Structure 1
Amino acid sequence: MLYWWIGEGFVGTPEKKAEQVAGERTNQREITEEQLPNELSEKLEPTAEDSANEVFNELLAKGFLEPFSEKRTLKVLVNKCKMHPFVRAAVVILARRAKFFDFDSEGKLTNSFSSSYRACLLADKNLYEKQDMNSIHTLLNVDQTNLEFQKHMNNLHMLFNVDQTILEFQKPERFSMMKNINIFCLGRWQSSPRHHIEVEDTNFLEGFKNMKHLKFLSLQGISRIMELPTSISKLVNLTILDLKACPNLEEIPKEIGLLKCLTHLDMSECYLLVNMPKEISTLVELQVLKGFVVGTLNLKGKNTCTLEQLANLPKLRKLSIYTGRKDFPDPSELKILSKFKVLRKLTIEWGGDSQGKLDNDSNREEVAEKPMEAEAKQPENEGEGQSTGEKSIPTEAPQPENASEGNSMPAEATQPGNEGEGKSIDSEGIVPENGTEGKSTTEVSKQENHEDANTKNQVNAEDSTATPATTNRCNCFTLATKKGLKNVKRTITRRSGKEAWAYAPPELPIQLEKLDLQCYPKPCAPEWLKAKKLQKVKKLYIRGGKLRDVGQFDCDERSKWKVEILRLKFLKELDMDWRETQELFPNLIYLEKVRCPKLTLFPCDEYGVWIKRT
């Protein structure tokens, strides 16, 4: 509904309000000339969506709309509403008087648009029999039509699919007559995926070439659309493009880069997409991007948009990522994500290979590494190489065992050179342990194996004194942490001291306000999912996956989350009781848990909802 309001122009960007807030902040504290543009762009610039939310909340507050939900919820989380019959009757009278829609005598919408500039597609079995010349369905399917209404079709502002599930257009060329249309919503408006829409032929998409005033295009949930036509480049005023849940969509054309007014692009739940055209990175007005694919395939040489290119978008505040990689995000990608300065909401969904084929992926990686290792051991031709018994310097430093957990270093940090520029320093800025500097790789590995054995013995000794209840729950953190610290110290770099001390572990953008993780494929929480690194996150959603902890085992450096709204769903391994949750999330006002059997003693209702009493 908010997108509809934006497309119709009912709401816009409140620029005056931004200037007013900017003036108030400037008076409160001094801001340098260099900081002022960043302050305005990152914090002070309201959007059209913000204005639409304000109108929506006002309608809720005045009772024109009533929240509708089967379970208790907060007003800020409302996504469904209903209208009182008396209020609806009054709205129908006003809409009919303003010629907003065509209604029948009972106040229901009709297929006709004889008195308005907005047409609706309705499921009616008798449409072919009636052949109403005032109906949009008749104009798009019947040979002999009213020429007067064909002319009226040129002035049509909106086409909205109310409940038609099979879209048949025998005269698709007539879509090109809609030269002044602003809203073209053929996709589903319902949130449930059970509402399926199927199109017989995609030739109607060629009518986009004449829709130069179109602002909102929705094809959500429509099957049999495999690609968008290149004529989409003609939609120069398009603001919102909704392609969510198009199950057959395989490719986004590079012409999408010509939509310079685009602020919202939704490609989520389009699971056949494997490549994002790099032209997406040229959409400088883009504020919301959903369904950005970080693939597992090697697409070098193709027209592929990367995260690094995406970081150049100055207004991107909401990003949704889909990936099949279990190691996403790696340290280099975390470093790139930290460059998204205005990003406020981030969603990451792991699917495909990351969840269902973890063992297969690891086997493929091992098989791929064996030929490389064998080739590295063989001497080079013409006697220039060394024998397998001689020491050699590899072209790349050996990766630590848990490199996928975020302890790996960038490639340039592991190159040989600068040996005489002081002591070598690892990725965390830690000087190597005594006795390791200057040793060969073989000697260092022997010492590491000995240290690992001592560490494991120490951990086992500590665990033997613990109670059975705490042993299983702390093993994951204790062993992983102690082993992780050893691995950090293993990473010996050749960088100068000044460069190495300046290096900091990469993390997610610190200004994030909402984080949504879906199907995380590993049991232990990564280093970037720590409360101390996400102090501005107010909403935390974790759904599905193998995650066991959210910081409750972090006994040595426990920090508290600032989260106010927490949703935990389908987490079979997450082990925590209500007391631990309250200690870890002291600011919690809303909690929702669904099918998390190891979350115990939670005072939730039958729907798994807990709301703090005020």
Structure 2
Amino acid sequence: MPTIQRKPADTIPVLLERVSDVITRATTGQPNQAQADPNERLVTLFRNLEEELKGMEDWFPKFKRCEEVLMSEFNFLRQDIHDDVFDNLTHHKDKIDDKLKSISGRLGQIHSIISRIQLPEVDEIPAQSQKGARSEDQCRKVSNDWLSFSVEANILVSPAMANLQLSYDVLDIKLKLCLLCFSVFPEKAVIKKRPLIYWWIAEGLVNRSKEKTAQEVGEGIFKELIEKGLIVPYYKNKKSPIVDFCTMHPWIRRMLISVAAGAEFFDFNDKGEIVDVYSKSRRACLVSGNQGFSDNNNNNNNNNNTSSKEDELVTMFNVNAQYLSFKAELFLKLKKLVILQLGRWQNSARHHIEVENEEFLKDLWAQKHLKYLSLQGISRITALPSSIAQCINLEILDLRACHNLERLPSDISSLRKLTHLDVSECYLLESMPKGLEKLSSLQVLKGFVIGHSRKNPCKLGDLVQLKKLRKLSIHIGSEAVIEKEELNKVKEISSLRVLTISWGGVALASKSGVQSSSNVGAKLTRTATLTVKSFSFPPQLEKLDLRCIPRSPEWLRPSGLQRLKRLYIRGGELDSLVSEEDEKWNVEILRLKYLKNLKIEVLRLKEDFPYLTYFEKVRCHQIAESKYENDVEWERDEGWEALTSKL
């Protein structure tokens, strides 16, 4: 028998061959009566062993980080299977029985280890509606067990937890710190990738390289954590190749809490719950019912313990507080803050957050170290004060879904280090302030509003000055005023890779005098007409996302979008995807949603989109009132015939 240790996954085929040989010899030989009983037991056990080994072929790829722990037991099993007693089946019955008992024991040990650390498969993490039940029940059971201190203590010192600790210990320092950030999120949370990466960037955990932006580096770390099995991808659509969300297995989360508490990364109580008393950590959290930073906090002892630490805080993170109230001049004291994540990080927009008043924003001028400010989804913020312009190191400003926000500061151009600005879903913004085009470091600009000309706004054509801009989303509102020359300038933003265009109220009154929500009987505004005729795009554009498009555009053709890999169209009056005789689409991912006039034919799709790897169609081609053709989700591995049957 070979003595060189190999990985279990590599050894299983050899063991299967050995087991099959023993079974063959035991069943084809001519045993005498004395040998009949041991051979019968041997064959039964070895057939079971064969099934177990085949099952392990599926298990072991999921336990790469635990191979060292399993190796010892697995090598003992390997030695037993290769024992000489099975080379000569005429050995005494007692010797064979002893070895069979040893094999059974080894299998039991391996099962015991795996059962403690077995994680749900990626396929078991569902899209929203279908997937939650099983994993949530598992999480709830583990949580209830942990409420008992004795069980909690046993878990923390168990071999399984030690194995998970080992999976953390072998990571490099950058991955360790990025992973520790997950300890702050509640159990069963669906975590959005984007704010997580923003956090990493601001903390300095990820930095740009010569070839990649900091956000692209962060994307790589997120992917690596998935590949190592430390976080679990969460798919809105099960077959989607794009991962924007993740969850965490409760055992891994518990391990991270233990490590984070020991490293004083965050403050936790004995039950592993995040607390608002930041006695040790330089990172403070806002949790439901938190009074630590509020005027309503009457706990003098708590004030005495924490006030001395306030000027040392570098991070304030809103975990689940919905009503925010801050004591006077708090942000004049927190002068070392780097991250101020007050807004929503949750997947669901139904998570409501509101502030008692906006006064605290006026004190942000004191934040000279602040790099990341998130007010995403917070209600009752009507304006961003000009004092924000004094946050000279601000890199990421997330104002997404601040539905009451009416204006941005006129001197926003002072934020020269700003790389990310998100004002998407801020529906009361009528235009963008002049000077935005001076933010020379800007890489991501979401929610750019093409407004009216009465207030001398920043115009679409001005964005040509942003030489580093990679992602841009544009909203064309009901009062939008734009010239053809500006639309043609978009192609001059040579660094642009991702573009989203959405149209608002672009129809004038119909002949009957009633505003029409459809294109039938309505006349498009001059601006809307221009936008479906005259847009031109930069040659390196990789993703185009069109929303509520008022008419099939003349520019949506492959010859003008030769590098495009992802095409998303959601809502509007599109009735066809233009094809060209000499040009085929290079699109790999195509998503079509809520397009009642669009009918898709498989043969045409196959011909026009030969490189397609993923296709999604939702509520397209209305065939009767409130009735549409079948929804479809398809990936290339299924074959074109499968798509034909689905359509």
User: TM-score, normalising length from structure 1?
Assistant: 0.65
For residues 338-362 of structure 1, the C-alpha deviation after alignment (integer angstroms, 9 at most, x for no partner) is: 11010000000101x2158677799
Question: How far apart are the structure 2 equivalents of 1:189 and 1:220?
Answer: 8
1:491 aligned residue: none
Post-superposition offset of 1:92: 1.4
1:312 aligned residue: 465
Post-superposition offset of 1:191: 3.0
Question: How far apart are the structure 2 equivalents of 1:303 and 1:206?
Answer: 26
2:600 aligned residue: 576
| 1:109 matched to 2:265 | no
Question: How far apart are the structure 2 equivalents of 1:358 and 1:52?
Answer: 49
Post-superposition offset of 1:298: 3.3
2:247 aligned residue: 82
The amino acid across from 1:185 in the alignment is: Q
For residues 519-565 of structure 1, the C-alpha deviation after alignment (integer angstroms, 9 at most, x for no partner) is: 0011xx3222111110100000000001101115x6xx463211001
2:319 aligned residue: 162
1:133 aligned residue: none
Q: Residue 172 of structure 1 aligns to a residue in which SS? A: coil
- The answer on whether the counterparts of 2:382 and 2:405 sit within 8 Å (CA) in structure 1 is yes
For residues 556-587 of structure 1, the C-alpha deviation after alignment (integer angstroms, 9 at most, x for no partner) is: x4632110011101000012222221212111
Alignment of 1:192-207 (within 5 A): 192-207=348-363
1:405–1:268 Cα change, 3 Å: closer
Question: How far apart are the structure 1 equivalents of 2:362 and 2:407?
Answer: 16
Q: Residue 291 of structure 1 aligns to a residue in which SS? A: strand
Give the % identical residues: 44
1:138–1:196 Cα change, 3 Å: closer
1:173 aligned residue: 329
1:90–1:520 Cα change, 3 Å: same
Question: How far apart are the structure 2 equivalents of 1:328 and 1:613?
Answer: 46
Alignment of 1:2-151 (within 5 A): 2-14=197-209, 18=210, 45-75=211-241, 77-124=242-289, 136-137=292-293, 141-142=297-298, 144=300, 146-151=303-308
The amino acid across from 2:632 in the alignment is: G
User: Which of these residues, 508, 512, 531, is aligned with residue 541 of structure 2?
Assistant: 512
- The answer on whether the counterparts of 2:400 and 2:424 sit within 8 Å (CA) in structure 1 is yes
Q: How many aligned positions are there? A: 427
Q: Residue 73 of structure 1 aligns to a residue in which SS? A: coil
| 1:541 matched to 2:568 | yes
Post-superposition offset of 1:86: 2.5
For residues 441-468 of structure 1, the C-alpha deviation after alignment (integer angstroms, 9 at most, x for no partner) is: xxxxxxxxxxxxxxxxxxxxxxxxxxxx
2:144 aligned residue: none
Post-superposition offset of 1:101: 0.6
Post-superposition offset of 1:404: 6.9
For residues 463-522 of structure 1, the C-alpha deviation after alignment (integer angstroms, 9 at most, x for no partner) is: xxxxxxxxxxxxxxxxxxxxxxxxxxxxxxxxxxxxxxxxxxx62112100000000011
1:207–1:143 Cα change, 3 Å: farther
Structure 1: give runs of 5+ residues left out of the alignment: 19-44, 129-135, 364-398, 408-505
Question: How far apart are the structure 1 equivalents of 2:313 and 2:347?
Answer: 27
Question: How far apart are the structure 1 equivalents of 2:475 and 2:574?
Answer: 18
1:406 aligned residue: 533
Q: Residue 361 of structure 2 aligns to a residue in which SS? A: helix
- The answer on whether the counterparts of 2:489 and 2:536 sit within 8 Å (CA) in structure 1 is no
- The answer on whether the counterparts of 1:541 and 1:566 sit within 8 Å (CA) in structure 2 is yes
User: Which of these residues, 587, 595, 600, is aligned with residue 563 of structure 1?
Assistant: 587
Q: Residue 220 of structure 2 aligns to a residue in which SS? A: helix
For residues 155-209 of structure 1, the C-alpha deviation after alignment (integer angstroms, 9 at most, x for no partner) is: 101111111111123x231121110011101111113221121111111112201
Question: How far apart are the structure 1 equivalents of 2:568 and 2:437?
Answer: 27
1:484 aligned residue: none
2:50 aligned residue: none
For residues 313-343 of structure 1, the C-alpha deviation after alignment (integer angstroms, 9 at most, x for no partner) is: 1101110000125999863233210110100
1:357–1:292 Cα change, 3 Å: farther
The amino acid across from 1:592 in the alignment is: E
The amino acid across from 1:298 in the alignment is: S
- The answer on whether the counterparts of 1:516 and 1:540 sit within 8 Å (CA) in structure 2 is yes
Range with bigger deviation, 322-331 or 312-321: 322-331
Question: How far apart are the structure 2 equivalents of 1:330 and 1:192?
Answer: 38
- The answer on whether the counterparts of 2:444 and 2:472 sit within 8 Å (CA) in structure 1 is yes
1:596 aligned residue: 620
Post-superposition offset of 1:609: 1.4
| 1:324 matched to 2:477 | yes
- The answer on whether the counterparts of 1:326 and 1:355 sit within 8 Å (CA) in structure 2 is no
Q: Residue 179 of structure 1 aligns to a residue in which SS? A: coil
1:153 aligned residue: 310
1:346 aligned residue: 499
Alignment of 1:436-515 (within 5 A): 507-515=536-544
Alignment of 1:218-237 (within 5 A): 218-237=374-393
The amino acid across from 1:566 in the alignment is: L
Give 1 or 2: higher helix fraction: 2
- The answer on whether the counterparts of 1:406 and 1:527 sit within 8 Å (CA) in structure 2 is yes
1:175–1:123 Cα change, 3 Å: same
Question: How far apart are the structure 1 equivalents of 2:308 and 2:573?
Answer: 59
CA RMSD of aligned residues (A): 2.8
2:413 aligned residue: 257
1:403–1:338 Cα change, 3 Å: closer
- The answer on whether the counterparts of 2:472 and 2:496 sit within 8 Å (CA) in structure 1 is yes
The amino acid across from 1:269 in the alignment is: E
Q: Residue 613 of structure 1 aligns to a residue in which SS? A: helix
Question: How far apart are the structure 2 equivalents of 1:148 and 1:177?
Answer: 15
Post-superposition offset of 1:597: 3.1
Q: Residue 329 of structure 2 aligns to a residue in which SS? A: helix
Question: How far apart are the structure 2 equivalents of 1:326 and 1:243?
Answer: 22
1:354–1:270 Cα change, 3 Å: same
Post-superposition offset of 1:73: 3.0
1:227–1:405 Cα change, 3 Å: closer
1:224–1:358 Cα change, 3 Å: farther
1:140–1:338 Cα change, 3 Å: farther
Q: Residue 89 of structure 1 aligns to a residue in which SS? A: helix
Structure 2: give runs of 5+ residues left out of the alignment: 1-195, 517-525, 639-647
Q: Residue 517 of structure 1 aligns to a residue in which SS? A: strand
Question: How far apart are the structure 1 equivalents of 2:427 and 2:218?
Answer: 30
Question: How far apart are the structure 2 equivalents of 1:174 and 1:330?
Answer: 47
For residues 236-255 of structure 1, the C-alpha deviation after alignment (integer angstroms, 9 at most, x for no partner) is: 00000000000110011112
1:87–1:510 Cα change, 3 Å: same
The amino acid across from 1:531 in the alignment is: P
Post-superposition offset of 1:106: 2.0
1:539–1:70 Cα change, 3 Å: closer
The amino acid across from 1:342 in the alignment is: S
